[in-house]
A and B are shown apart, each in its own frame.
Chain A
Amino acid sequence: MSFHIEAITVLLNGLQQGAIYVLLAVGLSIILGTLKFVNFAHGALYLIGTYSGLLLALEINLTSGQLQEWGYGQLGLGLGYIPALIIVPFVVFVVGLAMERWVVEPFKDRPDTDQILVTFGLAIIVQELFRAFFGSSSLPFSQPAWAQGPPQVPFLTAIPISSWRYYVIGITAVLVLIVYLLVEYTDFGLIVRAGTRDPEMVELLGIRLSRPYIVVFGIGAALAGVAGVVGGPLNPVNPTIGNEILVPAFLTVVIGGVGSIAGAVLGGVLFGLTQAILVATYSAWAQVGLYAIAAVVLLVRPQGLLGEAEVAP
C-alpha cells in the first residue's frame, strides 16, 4: 500500500471512531449544558442502542445467559439494518424520556455527586440486566452484507475500508447538523438556550421549561442509541461496552467545552484522529495518548476548547 492510501485509511478510520464519540458527546453535552445533569448512564443508553439494534436487525443464537437457559436462545427479528436504524432512536428516545421523568427530575435539586452516583448505579443495573439475560460472551453483530467491502466509487475502491464506516460518518454528520439547527435556529432551541442562561426569567415569561428539557434529554438519549447501532457492528458486542465508551465520551465533552455542539464535534474528531494515528504508529500508546491530550487541553484551557469560561461553574 502506498503511503498516501495508508494515510487516508488512517484518517478515515479516525473520523469514523471520532463520529461515535461525537454522537455520544453531543448528547451528553446538551444534557449537561441545559439540564445541568451529569449522566453517567449515557454508556448504558449506548448499550441499549446496540442490543436493541442487534435484535431488530439480525437473528442471533445465544450461547449463555438466562434467556438461553429458559429456552429462548434464538432471538431477533431479522428486519435488517435500515429498519433498526430508524426504530432504535425512537426506542432509546422513549427510554430517555422515562429516565428524565423518573430519575433526572427527582435528582435535579440534589448535589452533583448524588446525580453521578445514581446514574452510575443505573448504568450498573442496565449492564447487569443485559448480562443476566443475554450472557457475558460477545454476540456477533456483523456489518451488513451491502456495506462490507469498500464502496464501488472511483478512487475509494482502493482504500481498504468497509463502506459501513462511511455510513457512520455520514449519519453522524447529518444528525449533528439537525441537532445544531434545532438548537440554534428554532423556537424550541431558543427556549432551551434561554432556559440555560436564566431559567427563572423564562418561566416568568409563561413558558414551562419542563417540556423542552424532557425532549432535550430524549434527543441526547436517542443520539446515544444511534451511536450504539452504528458502532455496534464495528466492535465486539458484550455488556461492558457501555462502561468502556463512557470515559472517552465524557472526555470528549469536557475537552470540547460543555454545552457546545461544535466543541463536541471538534473534541470527537480530535480524539478519533489521535487514536487512529497512534494505533497506526505507536499502537501501545494509543489509549494513553488520548488521555494525555485530554489532560493537556484541560490544564491549558480548563473550560474546554470551545467552552465559555464564565458559564463553567
Chain B
Amino acid sequence: MSDEPAAAGETDADAGNSVADMIGVWAPRGNEVRVVAGTAVVIALFPFVFSRMPVVSDLLQGYQSLATLILIWGIFALGFDLLLGYTGLLSFGHAAFWGGAAYTAGVFSQQVSGSPVLMVLAGTAFAVLLAWALGFLSLRRGGIYFAILTLAFAQMLFYMSSSPLAFITGGENGFTGVETAELFGMFGLESELPSVLGLLLGTWLYAFVAIITVLCVALAYRILQSPYGMVFRAIRENEQRAEFVGLNVWRYRLMSFILSGLFAGIAGSLFTIHGSYVPLASFYWTTSGEVVIMTVLGGTGSLFGPMVGAGVYLYVENIVSGGHPFDFIAPFWHLILGLVFVVTIWVFPRGIWGFVRDVRDMVTGGED
C-alpha cells in the first residue's frame, strides 16, 4: 500500500484500456487497484486477526465491535486529514458533521426508514449541507481564526441540541430512538455472515462498514491523486503562489472542507448504526479534539496514517483503559495519550505512518 503519486497508468494501462473505454473516467488509474485491493484485504483480515485468531487475539484482547468502531473512526480521521494534512486547515469543529450526521441518521431511522443504506445517505447529505454552510462562514478567516470559528459553530450546535432542540435530539440524554432495520430487508446487522466470511469478517454490520470504508479509501485516493487534489497540496504549501497561478484558493478550500464533512458524515451515520444511540457528547468539542489527536498521531498528509491513528487511539481508550496489558496504566490512559500526542507533534510531526515509512525506506534503501 502506497500513497505516493504513481507514474500515470504504467502497470495496468493495457489491461485497463478496454474497461476505461467503457466506463470512462471511472476506470482505475495508476496505483489505484493496488491501493484499493490492498486496503480491502487488510480490512477483510483485520477482525479475524484482531478478535478471533487463536494466539494473537488473546494477546490483543480485541473484540468484533471494537474492530467495527475502529473502521468508523478511521473514515472520520481519513476525511479530517483531507483538510488538515492536505489542505493545511485545522478545524476544531468536525464534531458538528460527525454529530449532525449521527443525529440525522438516528432521527431518520425513527421517522422515515430504518434501512442502513438510507440512514447513511440521509446523515451524509445533512453533513455535506452543514459543511457547506459552516465552511462558507468559517473560511472567511484563515489560520487560527478558522480553528476558532469552526470550534464556535460546532459548540453552537452542541448547545442547540442540548436544550432548544431537545424535543428532537433528546437533550442531555442523547437520542435513544434509533430503529435500524435489516440490511436490504434481509440481513440482520448483528447476525453472522455465512461460513468462511463469518469467520473472517464476523457480522453483517462489519461487512457493511468495511465495504463503505473501502469505497471511502478509494474515493479519497482518487481525489488526492487527481489534479484537483494536487491543488489542495499546492494551497497547503504556498497559498499566495497558488493564488497567483490563478487558482481560486477560497473555492478549493471550501470544497476540501465539504469533502471532509462528507467523510465525517458517513462516519457519523455509521456510528449511529453501530451504537443504536447518539450521545450528546458527539457534538461536544472534545469529539473534534479526538479526531485531531487520531489524525496527528497516525500521521497527517498520508492516506492510511489517520486510520492507523484511529485504531491506536480506540485501542488505548477501550483496551488499555481496562487494564490490559498492565493494570497500573488503566487510570492514566488519557494522560499517556496526551503525552504521546505532544511528543509526536514535537519530534515526529509525520506520526506513526511517517515513522513506518521511514523504516521501510531504510530497509528497502529509499526505494518506494
Contacts and interface: CB of A to CB of B under 8 A. Distances in A.
Contact of B143 (A66, A295, A313): A313
Contacts of B149: 254, 298
A117 B338 CA distance: 11
Grouping DSSP codes into helix (H, G, I), strand (E, B) and loop, the B interface class, with mixed when no group exceeds half, is helix
A291 B157 CA distance: 9
B227 interface: no
Nearest to A66: B331
Contacts of B140: 298-299, 302
Contacts of A111: 88
A125 interface: yes
A122 interface: yes
A101 B89 CA distance: 27
B144 A112 contact: yes
A189 B87 CA distance: 38
A114 B349 CA distance: 9
Interface string B172-211: 0000000000000000000000000000000000000000
Indicate the size class of the contact surface on chain B: 35 or more
A125 B336 CA distance: 8
Interface residues of A, number: 39
A116 B147 contact: yes
B155 A121 contact: no
Given A124-B334, A250-B148, A118 B156 contact: no
A101 to B, nearest CB: 15
A132 interface: yes
Contacts of A38: 144, 147
Interface string B80-97: 000010001010100000
A120 interface: yes
A125 B147 CA distance: 21
A113 B90 contact: yes
A294 interface: yes
Interface stretch (B26-34, B58-66, B339-347): B339-347
A291 B153 contact: yes
B241 interface: no
Grouping DSSP codes into helix (H, G, I), strand (E, B) and loop, the A interface class, with mixed when no group exceeds half, is helix
Interface in B150-179: 151-153, 155-156, 159-160, 162-164, 166
A117 B137 contact: no
A302 B285 CA distance: 22
A295 B331 contact: no
Contacts of B164: 284-285, 288
B141 A291 contact: no
A122 B341 CA distance: 9
A289 to B, nearest CB: 9
B159 A287 contact: yes
B145 A254 contact: yes
A77 interface: no
A129 interface: yes
A265 interface: no
A209 to B, nearest CB: 21
A33 B325 CA distance: 46
A79 interface: no
Interface in A262-313: 283-285, 287-288, 291-292, 294-295, 298-299, 302, 312-313
Interface string A47-76: 000000000000000000010000000000
Contact of B137 (A116, A254, A295): A295
B338 A128 contact: yes
Residue of B88, B141, B144, B334 with most partner-chain A CB within 10 A: B144
6 contacts: A38-B144, A113-B84, A118-B342, A125-B339, A128-B338, A312-B145
Interface of A: 32, 38, 66, 106, 111-114, 116-118, 120-122, 124-125, 128-129, 131-132, 243, 247, 250-251, 254, 283-285, 287-288, 291-292, 294-295, 298-299, 302, 312-313
Closest 9 CB pairs between A and B?
A291-B156, A124-B338, A287-B159, A128-B335, A121-B342, A284-B163, A113-B90, A125-B338, A121-B341
